[in-house]
Structure 1
Amino acid sequence: MRTVDVARESGYSVQQVRDLERLGVIPPAVRAANGYRAYTPAHVHALRAYRGLAGAVGPVEARRLLARVRTRTLAEAAAAVSALHVRLARERDEALRAEEALRAIRDEAGTGGAERDSDAMTITELAGALGVRPSTLRFWEQEGLVAPERVTTLRARRYGLAAVRAARVVAALRGSGYGIPAVREIMGSLDRLDGLEDTARLLGQRLDRIADRTVALLRAGADLAAICEGERSGRG
């Protein structure tokens, strides 16, 4: 296949094909006797897979994953792809929990709802539930985003139900790319109806983006499978 053929089949321009080859997204093309690049269908599969992966996890991680798919065993390559699906599913679950937390914040605004001791979490428990490090929760505390209670003479952190809910919303906003100042402003607005509505809209957008990334990963699936099978059978 010529460069122009690969470009047409993959949806990239000729220059993009050359640039992505230079970046290692596709293996180097064989040079024909006349000096022109000679590609195979395997290069088309790699370019299509890269498009989907870049949409799902970003271009840098997409390049790393393609390298693993080409060089690892079939089991390792499949596990790497499966891990991306698991990651997106977890992001979606956490965004849904943040929406649920936001609804609870709205419903309990001004009601002084009762809280049970069993609703509280330690910093380790909350960090594990959110998929972040305890140091991240400490940083959020320093920035005024989440306010834990402190108990015992060692001042161990205890997160009550309100703090757990706030932390879920903060985690979802940070996952959407919002910086600390923006998150602080959003969290400070939750005592207002318009603040609650705006935050609900942002969380909805977060779920929409996760859905788009999941679809992009699904589109890459068939081409990733072709790469795995071709590399291990000696075809392409």
Structure 2
Amino acid sequence: MRPVDLARPHGLSGQAVRNYEAAGILPAADRTPTGYRRYTPLHAAALRTFLALVPAHGHATARRIMTLLNTGATEEALTAVDAGHAELLADRRTLDAIERALAELTPGPASSPAHRATTVGALAHRLGLRPATLRRWERAGLLRPGRERGTGYRTYTADDVRDARIVHQLRRSGYLLAQIAPLLDELRGATSPDSASAAIAERRRRLHTRALAMLNASAETGRYLGVLDGGGAGGADGPAE
């Protein structure tokens, strides 16, 4: 097969196929005596596998998996696949943690400015934490308590308490402080239960789509391994490029 023969069914250009070969995504092609590339069913299987891996694992990881497979580093390639599935599971757990944290965003009567602020000790006791933990979260920019006039003591409004509960929930789910900051900003931006529900539904849809892509990629990878194990370059050569 010529590069264009390999590329056309996937809406690619012949140059894209040559680039994939140069990057190690496709095995090195044999050459005719005049230097033209000759692609085989092995290369067609490699291209199908790579194109299935991209939506499942991203371009960089898909490229790494293919280069590992093509150089015989099968265990390393499968480890990279496993890491992608573990990441998907972590994303699902992230979404669950966000959903639980969003439950803390429901405003209550304590949102009134007249409500008496909570002290660091009282809040720490309520959450089962040490005051030092709340101060560390503050230094990380996750909490923004006010200060009492005269004494300088920290005071936590209802919104501050809500944020502390969110941080506490995400920390219990294994998040690092640096990971929590963007999530907290997103949660603060949920202006209503409807907007929060819509955001969660969209995230779940994306996870579902990625999970299906991973299933397809795993199937293609398994078929490609079978071709590699069987030497699968068989079949008559098509016309040279």
* TM-score (norm. length: structure 2): 0.63
Give the 5 Å matches for 1:60-139. 60-72=60-72, 74-106=74-106, 109-110=107-108, 120=128
Report the residue type matching 1:224 in the other structure. T
Report the residue type matching 2:108 in the other structure. G
Shift of 1:104: 4.1
Distance 1:121 1:89, change over 3 A: farther
The corresponding residue for 1:202 is: 199
Q: How many residue pairs get matched?
A: 196
Q: Which has the higher contact order (CA 8 A, sep 6+)?
A: 2
The corresponding residue for 2:17 is: 17
Matched, 1:228 2:225: yes
Shift of 1:92: 1.5
Shift of 1:19: 2.0
Contact 1:98 1:168 in 2 (8 A): no
What is the rounded CA distance, in whole Å, between the counterparts of 1:67 and 1:38 in structure 2? 19
Contact 1:102 1:200 in 2 (8 A): no
Distance 1:222 1:27, change over 3 A: same
Larger radius of gyration: 2
Distance 1:53 1:168, change over 3 A: farther
Distance 1:168 1:204, change over 3 A: farther
Structure 2 unaligned blocks of 5 or more? 111-122, 131-135, 146-162, 234-241
Distance 1:40 1:160, change over 3 A: same
What is the rounded CA distance, in whole Å, between the counterparts of 2:138 and 2:206 in structure 1? 27
What is the rounded CA distance, in whole Å, between the counterparts of 2:213 and 2:99 in structure 1? 24
Structure 1 unaligned blocks of 5 or more? 123-137, 149-158
What is the rounded CA distance, in whole Å, between the counterparts of 1:3 and 1:206 in structure 2? 38
Shift of 1:116: 10
SS for the counterpart of 1:24 is coil
Shift of 1:61: 1.5
What is the rounded CA distance, in whole Å, between the counterparts of 1:7 and 1:73 in structure 2? 26
Report the residue type matching 2:62 in the other structure. A
* TM-score (norm. length: structure 1): 0.64
Give the CA RMSD over aligned residues.
3.8
What is the rounded CA distance, in whole Å, between the counterparts of 1:146 and 1:69 in structure 2? 47
